[in-house]
Amino acid sequence: MAAYRCRIFSDDSVLKCCYLLIPLKWIYPNHQLDRGFWFFCRPVPLSYAIFDGPSSDPPLVFLHGLFGNKSNFSSLAKKLVLQTGRKVLTIDARNHGDSSHSPIMTYEAMSADIRLFLNQLHLNRCVLIGHSMGGKTAMVFVLQWPELVERLVCVDISPSQTKDISGFQNYIAAMKAVDIPRGIPRSTARRMAEEQLRPTIQPTILHFLLTNLVNAEDQFVWRVNLEAISQHLNDIMSFPDFQTSYLGPTLFLGGSKSGYISSNNYPEIKRLFPDAEIQHIPDAGHWVHADQPQEFITAVCNFIALHPR
């Protein structure tokens, strides 16, 4: 799958705005299909929340990580509105939260979704802030449409391959295996899911994954598209090849207890983002914004204040 690349076509005169020409092999990975079979894939509409602010400066747009959703940033969004005056928007990625599902889960596709989103809301520029998978989506977006991003913040992620994907494969397998009968209360369904997941998933991750358990037509199901994520896990863990660079102000904000941004990543960060700063927040793991929310807010506000545009 990594051998294929999406070809992006733009048409800013209509809301469709972007089309992806993609290989059918991405949708049917278990079928023998010739590489010449391609089809057009339109971006999907994204669910979002708006936290309004008085400033006319470009808004902050938050992109969550794998298995996350827009509510991950709700409390931070409210505080950032108060401290910056800017409008803040939080988005559900495709196949996550309340956004549409699609069999395609590549960074090119997710980037095209953001382009459609900005076009629909008539936003000419924004400050893009992405955590983990959302950070990679943000990087791909600015490398394709740099004129639409005032500045970029990548939270505990770098433009490199995530080495160990076995943990994510285990999460998906465990979630697929959860069996919950119809017609039971939410508290009971959550307890049953937790009991079935606990043997293979550590408590912190387990509680995070359980936020995706929702009631649909008297049946508790996962609102994330596990099949699409599973089929594209290698794409999500990797990063597309780019020969261009984003020259705008960029902050890579990692957790000191996390290994997602290491010195081994610095050369590639500087190649793609020459104006990048790299910081690590003490006593924070991969979920920097959850582990040290005030320090996270301070770092983002200082970054915006130090780089007026």
Active site residues: 132, 227, 286
How many C-beta neighbours within 10 Å does residue 35 have? 10
> CA angle 7-49-67, nearest 5°?
60
Residues 115-154: b if buried by 16+ CB within 10 A, e if exposed: bbbbbeeeeeebbbbbbbbbbbbbbbbbbbbeebbbbbbb
Q: Where are the alpha helices (DSSP H) in the chain?
A: 74-84, 107-120, 133-144, 166-177, 186-197, 203-209, 226-231, 233-237, 266-272, 288-291, 293-306
Whether the Cβ atoms of residue 208 and residue 67 lie closer than 8 Å to each other = yes
What 3-state DSSP class applies to 294?
A: helix
Whether the Cβ atoms of residue 99 and residue 115 lie closer than 8 Å to each other = no
**Measured distance CA(239)–CA(271) in Å, rounded:** 14
Whether the Cβ atoms of residue 114 and residue 94 lie closer than 8 Å to each other = no
